[in-house]
Amino acid sequence: MSGGVDSSVTAALLARKDYDLSAVYMRNWDTRDEFANDKGCEWEKDWEDVQRVCNQLDIPCELIDLSKQYWNRVFEPSLRDWEAGISPNPDVWCNKEIKFGALLEKLPQQPGSYQNAWFATGHYASKSWSNDSRPKLLRPADRSKDQTYFLSAISEAGLRRALFPIGHLTKPEVREIARQHNLSTAERRDSVGICFVGKKTHFNGFLASYIPAKSGPIINKLTGKTIGEHTGLWNFTVGQNARVGGVPEKLFVAEKDVKNNTIYLVPGSNHESLYSRTIQVRDFAWIWQDSPPAQIDRPEGARLSLKHRYRMGATPCVVRRSGSDELTIECEEPQHAITPGQVAALWDGDWCIGSGIITTGLQ
């Protein structure tokens, strides 16, 4: 449980069915690293909400501290990526490495009967079983809240134990169930942002406390002229509006040249330089590791659907294998702001089959 309405309703729905039910709250971030003290921090408020809901539902709950695992398996690798000038997605790796990784590894060590327990979360996702009893990660009923993108890197073993009790519900229906149960979190707003950045902390300012400044030129890609200077590639993301002092026109990040520590800008958010039809992906992990689509090794490729960011519709594509864990993805339509380091996830219809890390987008 996270302290939010989705996991609260997940617990309420399972409590209705008279399961032998226990709740777990993961503490993933040691806020002393951020504030040098541990008073009035976000995790404490979340934990209080979890305890309050569990008291209402009369189920036990416990806090499990995974902050060291999160630091080693999510934050430090992400920090290395930012420092190298690419843009990782810590939320995807948190699900893979922590919620469906470190937590499932640690639960059998806790007092209680966790060894063979089902593992329920408040994600908007669904699951079914194949004819040979393998788990399939599916889109939920509420497509506007679909979180299968964030779950696209989890293992088959983790998915096998997973339950998604709100996968058949819409967000308004979830809130209504919370009200019917008089849950204290019924009107709590949805959380946004990355867990290790406090609500009062600006993201770039937060990273600046971990990554040393490294200045380099900002160049107008059309004219080749240097128009400014940046203090680190990690301050920029492909496609974002980049304000440059003394330059009145709106310019957008078209490219981050890691080798030369250079930012290239173009005028207009829809400039052709911001679009790519071909995407190269590395470290692609199929949820069914031993059963990728056979067509990826054929000249015609596999016809699938792609998402390269969370808030976008899935786009038709053709996928071909270009290395042992590398893919070349040809999109039906040019895609805006393909960002190295971000996650490219694939679907076969409503079935999410895996994801990898974007290395580049090609026009």
SS3 per residue for 137-186: EECCCCHHHCCHHHHCCCCHHHHHCEECCCCCCCHHHHHHHHHHCCCCCC
Cα separation, 82 vs 341, in Å, equals 9
Contact yes or no for 268/281 (Cβ under 8 A): no
Distances (CA, A) of 129 to 120, 159, 260: 16, 11, 49
Contact yes or no for 296/325 (Cβ under 8 A): no
Residue of 54, 195, 317, 331 marked active site: 195
Assess whether 94 carries a catalytic annotation. Answer: yes
Cβ neighbours for 128, distance < 8 A, ≥ 6 positions apart: 135, 136, 138
Residue reference for tokens 């990273």? 207
Nearest to 350 by CA among 185, 182, 128: 128
Beta-strand pair 226-230/135-138: unpaired
Residue of 94, 317, 331, 352 marked active site: 94
Assess whether 195 carries a catalytic annotation. Answer: yes
Cα separation, 59 vs 57, in Å, equals 6
Known catalytic residues are 94, 195
